[in-house]
Chain A
Amino acid sequence: MNITLNNRPQSFEEDTLTISEVLKLKNYTFKMMVIKINGVLIKKDKYNSAKVNNGDDVHIIHMISGG
C-alpha cells in the first residue's frame, strides 16, 4: 500500500497495518507521540487496533521536551 506519512509518500509491502506495526517497521521508538490517521486522533490504547490502509494520510508527531 501507499500512504502519506508526515507529508511524505511512504510504501509498505503489506495491504494494511496497525499503528503499532507501522511504528515497528519505521523503527519509531518515541516514548510520547501524537498520531492522526486522516485527521482522526489515535490514542495510545488504540495503537494495536487502529488500521492504516492504502491512501491514508498519517501523521506521527514526536513529543519533545523543551520550552
Chain B
Amino acid sequence: MNFSQIVKKLKNKTVGIAGCGGLGSNCAVALARVGVGKLIIADFDSIEESNLNRQYYFHKQIGASKTASLKENIKLINPNTEVEAHNIKLDSQSIIEIYKNCDVIVEAFDKAEMKQMIIETVIDKLSQTPLVVGLGMAGWGDNNSIGSRQTENLFICGDEKKEVSEQLPPLAPRVGIVANMQANTVLEILLK
C-alpha cells in the first residue's frame, strides 16, 4: 500500500482517544499525521508547565485546556483530520456515549483506576470495538522491556511493570515510544 492508498483508507476511519496527556496527545498527533479522518478526544485538564516534558503542547499554551490546544495543534499539522473535542472527565457512561461509533479506542489515562474502568467498560459494553491501552512507561532507558500483546479485542502496549513515582517520572522518550506503539497498533487494526 502506498501512502495515498493509506490516506484513502484512513480518511473514513474514526479513532477515539480517552485522555490528552502524554499518551493521548502524542498518539493523536501520530494518527493525524498519517491521515486518520476523525479523532474524538476527551480530557478535563488544562496544561501545566510540568506536562511539557512529554506532552504535545507548547509553552505558550500553559493554562489552556488540553482538548482545545490539542485540536489547535492537530489543525496546524493536518487540517484534513477532523477533531471532535470533549472537555469532560470521562466515566463509564460518557465513554460509551462518546466512543460507541469509533473504529478503535485508545486508552490514554494516567491513573491505574481509570485504566481499569475503561478496559472493563469496553469489554462489557463495546466488546466489538478494539481497545489499545498503554501500561508501564515510567522512567528512562530499558528499551527492550517495552512490547505489545493482544488478548481478543484488547491490545496492550508498554513494559507492564514500571509505575510512575517521584523517582521514576514519566518522560518524553518512553511515553512517546508507548504512545507511538499505540498509534502503530491502531494503524495495524485499521489497515487490515
Residues of A that sit less than 8 Å from B by CB: 7, 31-34, 36, 39, 41, 43, 59, 61-67
> How far is B112's CA from A31's CA once the two chains are assembled, in angstroms?
9
Which residue of A is nearest B149, CB measured? Answer: A7
From the candidates A41, A64, A67, name the one contacting B19 in the complex (CB within 8 A): A67
From the candidates A32, A39, A59, name the one contacting B116 in the complex (CB within 8 A): A32
With contacts A64-B112, A67-B170, A67-B175 taken as known, whether A34 is within 8 angstroms of B164 at the C-beta atoms is no
The reply to whether A36 and B163 contact each other, CB–CB distance below 8 Å, is no
Stretch at the interface among B3-11, B32-40, B153-161: B153-161
The reply to whether B151 and A66 contact each other, CB–CB distance below 8 Å, is no
From the candidates A39, A63, A66, A67, name the one contacting B152 in the complex (CB within 8 A): A39
Which of B134, B135, B163: most chain A Cβ within 10 A? Answer: B135
B149: A residues at CB distance < 8 A: 7
Interface residue count on the B side (C-beta < 8 Å): 35
Which residue of A is nearest B112, CB measured? Answer: A63
With contacts A32-B113, A36-B151, A61-B156 taken as known, whether A66 is within 8 angstroms of B120 at the C-beta atoms is no
- Of the A-B pairs whose beta carbons lie under 8 Å apart in the complex, a sample of 18, sorted by A's number, is A7-B149, A7-B151, A36-B123, A41-B120, A41-B123, A43-B120, A61-B119, A61-B135, A61-B160, A63-B116, A64-B162, A65-B115, A66-B137, A66-B170, A67-B108, A67-B109, A67-B115, A67-B137
Minimum C-beta distance from A11 to chain B (A): 20
